[in-house]
Amino acid sequence: MAEIGEKPFRAKQLSQHYFARYAHDPEQWTDIPAGARGKLQEALLPELMTVVRHLSTDQGTTRKTLWRLFDGTLVESVLMRYPDRVTMCISSQAGCGMNCPFCATGQAGLDRNLSTAEIVHQIVDGMRALRDGEVPGGPARLSNIVFMGMGEPLANYKRVVQSIRALTDPAPDGLGLSQRGITVSTVGLVPAIHRFADEGFKCRLAISLHAPDDELRDTLVPVNTRWKVREVLDAGFEYVEKSGRRLSIEYALIRDINDQAWRGDRLGRLLRGKPVHVNLIPLNPTPGSKWTASRPEDEKAFVEAIAAHGVPVTVRDTRGQEIDGACGQLAAGER
Ligand code: SAH
């Protein structure tokens, strides 16, 4: 503020508008002289991103947003309202460089990292929409955030960590959300997991495992050629010790590729006795791919093989498939 010749107390006013009232339109800054608003917006809260379109399903309770960033880059976020909670799935990068063959985002490669502000704004807009009753079911508050949209969050480390601070610092410095409601999902960048464990967050960590054996994981999650299943899990367990949170294991079930009962058994052995939860995700087929979701009987046998080791396991509900809800599909269709 001082640098642009404004009164320092305007900093707090502007923070209040953005983080406490979700008001980024200068017209709403009524405690700031109209003549000063344009300058403040330009210098401190420029319009970073605009909605290309919203797509809704599940009677409006699942809403996907396609964003265009200031330089034309496209990213997606998804809001999912359940009877007892509201979750937002946000992007940390435009595109992704991890190249997992079953993921739509992975096919197009990495455009660029999102800035901290671009990550945070997805949430601010979602909170505003919920408050304003834009999502059927009456005004609501956001309870959970998952970094499971486009991108590998730990490959955009600094900005993701800064965004977690902005999401969880109390207003007016941040949005005042609970760290416990935030999940960071990673392919398993081991050094970054160690570093993340030392941040002192109470966030949940999810590891996208997708195979219990290195031979198959090398092909499904190519970064596995650098950091193996054993190393990734050990880094995850270290995070568990430091954060006190259970580790989530993500596993997309792909028909006849990684869904054999013996692989379920092997996964159960790796995780037995550990504070983990296995999330099985029926594969959401991407256009042009020969892969598809598992047969119901194979899925059931896979679940039982894991559960036999006393490891908690659930199959994730698949919202938003009819609106290209799977990672990167909406942006891919826009290209
Ligand atoms: N890069 C991070 C977060 C983004 S993807 C990660 O890999 O964890 C969020 C989750 O969706 C990951 O577990 C990812 O493997 C999974 N996913 C990607 N494409 C999918 C598809 N077509 N069907 C089901 N799950 C998919």
Tell me, using a 6 A CB cutoff, whether residue 258 lines ligand 1: no
Residue 22 and residue 125: Cα distance in Å, rounded? Answer: 7
Site to substitute for ligand 1 among 254, 281, 292, most atoms within 8 A of C-beta: 281
The pLDDT tens digits for 41-84 are: 999 999 999 999 999 988 999 999 999 999 999 999 999 999 99
CA-CA-CA-CA dihedral for 163, 153, 281, 99, to nearest 10: 150
Contact yes or no for 97/152 (Cβ under 8 A): yes
With cut-offs at 50, 70 and 90, classify the pLDDT of residue 317. Answer: confident
CA of 131 to the centre of ligand 1 (A): 29
91 Cα: distance to centroid of ligand 1 (angstroms): 12
Could you tell me the pLDDT band of residue 335, with boundaries at 50, 70 and 90?
A: very low
CA of 89 to the centre of ligand 1 (A): 11
Ligand 1 binding pocket includes 327 (Cβ within 6 Å): yes
**Ligand 1: which of 103, 280, 292 to mutate, most ligand atoms within 8 Å of CB?**
103
Q: Where are the domains of the chain?
A: 1-46, 47-334
- CATH number at 47-334: 3.20.20.70
pLDDT in tens, 228-245: 999 999 999 999 999 999
Look at ligand 1, atom 15, and give the residue with the nearest C-alpha: 208
For 69, phi then psi, to 5°, come to -80, 170
Burial 244-266 (b: 16+ CB within 10 A, else e): ebebbbbbbbbbebbbbbebbbb
Residues identified as active-site: 76, 327
How far away, in angstroms, is 327 Cα from ligand 1 center?
7
> In 10 A of CB 27, how many CB atoms?
8
